[in-house]
């Protein structure tokens, strides 16, 4: 059992963020053991053979797939913004201090470092760009084609959890993240095999990162020099690889565009995200959403500078969900 003591300062600094770099790490682990992640089987079938056979990804595979339990923390630093951009996170990986790279390789591999990573240990600053380039290649091949939909699911989770934190407090919100997570007397506990440590966060706060490919596990990074991070399975993971229903019976009644938007709004989304996913113009999406809101089929909620839309129970009923 891993236990993290959160002070008032830590609780005040709890924030949510989405991390593309972490999805690179977690998805590669899914390819290693697809049987433990059956929900992602459609994606695994499309990409596993190519990724595991590619010589251009050898070092990245050895960094992420080879370790049985722990992973080098520098591969997925805590995101600095609520929705980090892939290139920004790859740049953060590239800037990892050489001493940190060596320490983490030693901690993860000991004296069993794969030969492919010997250059990285010997000259981290010179060889980190190779790892980053492989992350970029892997991202473009396996995740970028689906990122708008993935991001929509993750953003919907963040909006839901943040509202639960505000409405019900941490003692209710934290245990809802995953059955392995519990909260008692200002201590956040994570029940995971081979984790038996106590941490005092010391006012550093905690970053909560929903993850599509973490399912069904919870991952924690709380040791120095990293900002404490808890990565948990996002809500809606089961809908990711299901093709949205075209709602053919609904389209003649409310129009093809509004029916398509209603289907997409199974997860909270912004106007920009919906425009990218449906091919409609942003102004067209806004106009259709206004009608759907008026009809009580869609609700909207502001989170900072962004406005998210999501189906209401009435909209769910109309689609038969």
Q: Where are the alpha helices (DSSP H) in 169-308?
A: 170-176, 251-254, 256-264, 271-278, 282-294
Same domain for 32 and 56, yes or no, is yes
Domain finish residue from 146, 180, 208: 146
- Residue 270, strand partner residues: none
pLDDT over 70 at 247, yes or no:
no
Residues of the chain with pLDDT > 70: what percent? 96
- How far, in Å, CA of 236 to CA of 311, rounded? 14
- How far, in Å, CA of 251 to CA of 258, rounded? 8
Same domain for 192 and 262, yes or no, is no
Spacing of C-alpha 130 from chain mean position: 24
CATH of the domain at 263: 1.10.10.10
Which long-range CB contacts under 8 A does 270-275 form with residues at least 24 apart? 270/155, 270/306, 270/307, 270/308, 270/309, 271/307, 271/309, 273/148, 273/151, 273/152, 273/155, 274/309
Strands 207-211 and 15-16: parallel
Are the CB atoms for 158 and 166 separated by under 8 Å? no
pLDDT value of position 55: 92
pLDDT value of position 252: 77
Structural element, H or E, at residue 229: strand 229-233
* Interval 166-171 mean pLDDT: 87
pLDDT over 90 at 121, yes or no:
yes
pLDDT over 90 at 211, yes or no:
yes
pTM for the structure as a whole: 0.81
**3-state SS, residue 211:** strand
Same domain for 24 and 139, yes or no, is yes
Q: How far is CA 280 from CA 111, 146, 153, 256, in A?
A: 55, 18, 20, 11
In the block, which residue shows the tokens 């934290």? Answer: 174
Same domain for 211 and 115, yes or no, is no
pLDDT value of position 266: 75
Domain count, the chain: 3
Same domain for 190 and 298, yes or no, is no
Give the tens place of pLDDT for each residue, 143-163: 998 898 888 888 888 888 888
Closest alpha carbon to 306 in 157, 155, 167: 155
pLDDT over 60 at 246, yes or no:
no
Contact partners, residue 156, CB within 8 Å, separation at least 6 = 235, 236, 267, 268, 269, 308, 310
Name the least confident of 83-92, 95-104, 185-194. 185-194
Rounded to 5, what percent of the chain is helix, strand, coil? Answer: 55, 15, 30
Same domain for 256 and 285, yes or no, is yes
| Domain range for 117 | 20-146
Give the tens place of pLDDT for each residue, 171-195: 899 999 999 999 998 899 998 777 7
Are the CB atoms for 57 and 247 separated by under 8 Å? no
Same domain for 75 and 52, yes or no, is yes
pLDDT over 90 at 1, yes or no:
no
Domain finish residue from 192, 208, 238: 238
pLDDT value of position 304: 65
């Amino acid at each position: 059992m891993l236990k993290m003591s959160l002070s008032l300062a830590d609780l005040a600094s709890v924030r949510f963020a989405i991390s593309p770099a972490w999805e690179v790490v977690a998805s590669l682990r899914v390819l290693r053991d697809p049987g433990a992640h059956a929900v992602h089987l459609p994606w695994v079938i499309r990409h596993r053979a190519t990724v595991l056979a590619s010589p251009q990804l050898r070092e990245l595979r050895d960094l992420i797939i080879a370790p049985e339990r722990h992973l080098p923390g520098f591969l997925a630093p805590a995101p600095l913004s609520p929705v980090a951009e892939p290139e920004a996170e790859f740049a953060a990986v590239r800037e990892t201090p050489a001493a940190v790279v060596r320490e983490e390789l030693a901690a993860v591999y000991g004296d069993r470092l794969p030969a492919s990573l010997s250059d990285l240990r010997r000259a981290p600053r010179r060889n980190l760009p190779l790892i980053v380039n492989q992350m970029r290649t892997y991202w473009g091949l396996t995740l970028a084609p689906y990122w708008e939909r993935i991001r929509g699911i993750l953003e919907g989770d963040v909006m839901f959890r943040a509202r639960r934190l505000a409405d019900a407090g941490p003692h209710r919100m934290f245990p809802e993240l995953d059955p392995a997570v519990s909260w008692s007397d200002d201590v956040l506990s994570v029940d995971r095999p081979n984790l038996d440590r106590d941490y005092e966060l010391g006012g550093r706060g905690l970053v909560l990162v929903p993850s599509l490919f973490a399912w069904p596990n919870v991952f924690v990074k709380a040791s120095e020099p990293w900002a404490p991070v808890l990565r948990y399975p996002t809500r809606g993971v089961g809908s990711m690889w299901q093709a949205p229903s075209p709602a053919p019976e609904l389209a003649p009644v409310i129009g093809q565009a509004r029916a398509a938007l209603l289907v997409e709004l199974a997860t909270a989304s912004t106007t920009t995200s919906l425009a990218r996913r449906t091919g409609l113009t942003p102004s067209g999406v806004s106009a259709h959403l206004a009608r759907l809101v008026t009809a009580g089929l869609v609700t909207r909620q502001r989170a900072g500078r962004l406005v998210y839309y999501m189906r209401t129970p009435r909209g769910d009923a109309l689609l038969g969900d």
